[in-house]
Amino acid sequence: MTDKKRTKKFAEVILPLAAEGTFTYKIPYDFNYVGVGSRVLVNFGKQKMYAGIVRALHNNAPGYNTKPLSDVLEKDPVVPEISLKFWEWMAEYYMCTLGEVCEAALPAMFKIHSETRIFAIEKTVPESLDQDEARTLLQIIIAHQEMRIKELLTHFSSHKLMRLIKTLTAEKYIGIREAVSEQYKPKVTRTLRLNYNLAAKGNVDLKELKRAPAQKKVLEYFWKAQGAAARKAVKEGAGVSDAVLKSLIDKGWLIEEEYVVDRLAEQVADPEPLPQLSAKQHEVFETILSEWEKQKPTLLYGVTSSGKTEVYFHLISRIIQEGKQALVLLPEIALTGQLVHRFRKVFGEKVAVYHSRIHAAQRIEMWHDVRKGERFQVIIGPRSAIFLPYKNLGCIIVDEEHDRSYKQQDPAPRYNARDAAIVLSNLYKANVLMGTATPSLESLANHKAKKYALVKLVERFGAFTHPEIVIVDYAKWWRRRKVRAHLTPVLLNAVEEELGAGRQVILFQNRRGFSPYLQCFDCGHIPVCPHCDVRLTYHKRDNRLVCHYCGFSVRNAGKCVECGNVNMKTMGFGTEKIEEELQVILPDARIARFDQDATRRKNSHERIIGQFDQGEIDILVGTQMVTKGLDFRNVNLVGVLNADNLFSFPDFRSFERSMQLLMQVAGRAGRHADNGRVIIQTSQPEHSVISYLQEGNYGVFAEQELQQRYQFAYPPFTRILAVTLKHKKYDVCKRAANMLAAACKKISGLQVLGPQAPVIGRIQTYYIMELTLKMERSAQTLEIKSAVNNAIAKVRQAEGLKSVIINPDMDPY
């Protein structure tokens, strides 16, 4: 092939690294079929190999020698053009690199990279090698022939290992190479069947097998089985070894075949008819369709238990009839179990579930299936599902749109999936519906600005009344010494009444663990994390003190590390402590926890929810995980043990978030009955959030909050860019923050707050400083962000500040 016949000579490749831009590679003749979105293997740096995604093809030769593509890993592109445009928008808006978006978007098995391997050149340890540690290292490598660096790090520290490798390499005792292996492999099963052409009954003289009785047993097994069987089943059924089967295969009497197993296949019952909508639901459905015809994002403001999901079903059914796909975003994996079951009852095998807890190989296969668009029309998942390569996306439904779980914190890209869904829908010309009982102030402001349509569903489905809200003054009962297991008599009596009636109870406490901290009552010492500026949380079941920020944990010695006395007391309470103390005062009750600690194991979410749904648990004690969209028929009572810690956090959104959380947890009560109750314990019964909650008027609360935000120039009336700086030395971190603040104050249209240390000023041994940059909504956001990026780059290049970590976060709320 001549150059004239070649269409493009160079490829711009995105690598899953925190490096700016794309990288140019030459396209070898053999890879002329490579396209935009293809996954390719490239050499990066001196030795490293990475799998990347082709962003563009061109004939513009750069002014340097380019490396060739090493391989094209799939015949067809794996990322469509629309997804690549979406990546570029995300990198620009959230101020990160295209490589960081690529890292977040692709399934882990797509992101192969080379590993450094050390191999032995010598077969034995030379006598001339007199360093003991070097001899030990060489012996280990010779014994294994070849080892990865991370395997050797189990024997030596990083610094020492690098020094020894340098010594042995210089003496040519060992060599170094980069190795690449594709992680994903299709799941294959092997089956055996009888070759009737050679071994049909009557054509085989079994007397010939007198000396091979095991082979005879196999043939008799197949004559009875009448068909193909898995190799393992044949071995067990005939009671023979692999060697016997191999002998029959070699003789041609058995034929072995391999089949690729569908990892995504599930036994799903035939779909049920769409549920019938009430008159109000049907009116809402028609209104949404009308707004969708105008290509207008729509906010569905529906009270808890109003039947929003049934409306979703009818909208999605319409999308499927048009031959398109529907994406349903959920804030938490914990929500998927119940909701997926409901979706599969209606849409059967058309439903796919995509999240981080499914097997890595399943994620690859689902990626390909969604890209083809033939099998799955309804995709359900948390925020990461927004990156799937949809073939023909028709609508995006963002359930619980207000939930802060849609915001990615670390690492970059620090995106909000709700906001990103609007951009993705524009690229696909798809429709968006955001559903919630407690709309975010951003979405309400967008409605006021006529960017979103607003549709309301204010009645509970089935005409059930809203639960009664009961406010209990916790401090009053505490002073009277009437509190047991952190329950006031009002709440405890209500719990006992519900259990006596055969009903279940949900108790909400937004703190996991046994106790927030321990304190010595002799010297006052409180154990703190050595890596973070936080107290260690006590977990009684494991008898450990744990940092919930960096993961550090230490065994509880049972005495004070400062004075040696044993007068250590637990202070405060978490879900574990509530569970234990309730079991003492309610010994016959079946009590379980639903928090991050109780749901670490695979399928533990579904197991606990399933047990509660089946009535195997009487009291479910949980953190905010219990507030998210769960629907239980036998729960009339929900108790909030301590509402105070929700609205006391120093954040401009704390009132909004506490109101949303309390209304959501209240929505778990009385979903299928008229006598639901929500009992909220607080030491601040006159607090404005509590007052609005008791009135049950979220709209009035939201209007008041919007006025406050406007008055003090906070989102949604301004934009905020938060910049976090980290370093292991406080003075270095502070100097970098001051330098960046000074540079940002020179940028037109930007208000600079800080620098200042956050509430927790050190995490994982890194000191932290923060800048809050505010800009008007009408400001030239692109120009301002570009100027901030330039300021950050100058700080990173400054003498003594190159090791400072600087992370910009657009819309951090």
CA-CA distance, 736 to 800, in Å (whole number)?
9
- Please list the ranges in the chain whose pLDDT falls under 70: 1-7, 181-184, 196-211, 225-226, 259, 261-264, 267-269, 334-336, 461-464, 512-517, 597, 628-629, 670-674, 779
* Per-position DSSP letters for 390-435, written without gaps between them: -SSEEEEEEETTT-GGGB--SSS---BHHHHHHHHHHHHT-EEEEE
453-457 and 468-473 strand pairing: unpaired
Beta-bridged to residue 326, according to DSSP, are 378, 395
User: Going by C-beta distance under 8 Å and a sequence separation of 6 or more, which residues neighbour residue 330?
Assistant: 336, 339, 380, 381, 382, 399, 400, 629
Q: What pLDDT score was predicted for residue 233?
A: 81
Contact present, 715 and 724 (Cβ < 8 Å): no
Q: What pLDDT score was predicted for residue 700?
A: 93
CA-CA distance, 69 to 42, in Å (whole number)?
5
Structural domains of the chain, with CATH: 10-110 (3.40.1440.60), 115-179 (1.10.10), 188-260 (no CATH), 279-463 (3.40.50.300), 466-511+587-696 (3.40.50.300), 515-572 (2.20.28), 718-810 (3.30.70.600)
Q: What residue has token string 């120093």?
A: 650
Q: What pLDDT score was predicted for residue 3?
A: 46
Q: What's the chain's length in residues? A: 813
Annotated binding-site residue numbers: 520, 523, 529, 532, 547, 550, 560, 563
Annotated binding-site residue numbers for Zn(2+): 520, 523, 529, 532, 547, 550, 560, 563
Q: What pLDDT score was predicted for residue 206?
A: 55
Query: pTM value?
Result: 0.83
Q: What pLDDT score was predicted for residue 323?
A: 95
* Token couple for 297: 């994002």
CA-CA distance, 3 to 571, in Å (whole number)?
76
End-to-end CA distance of the chain: 56
Q: What pLDDT score was predicted for residue 2?
A: 42
Contact present, 618 and 590 (Cβ < 8 Å): yes
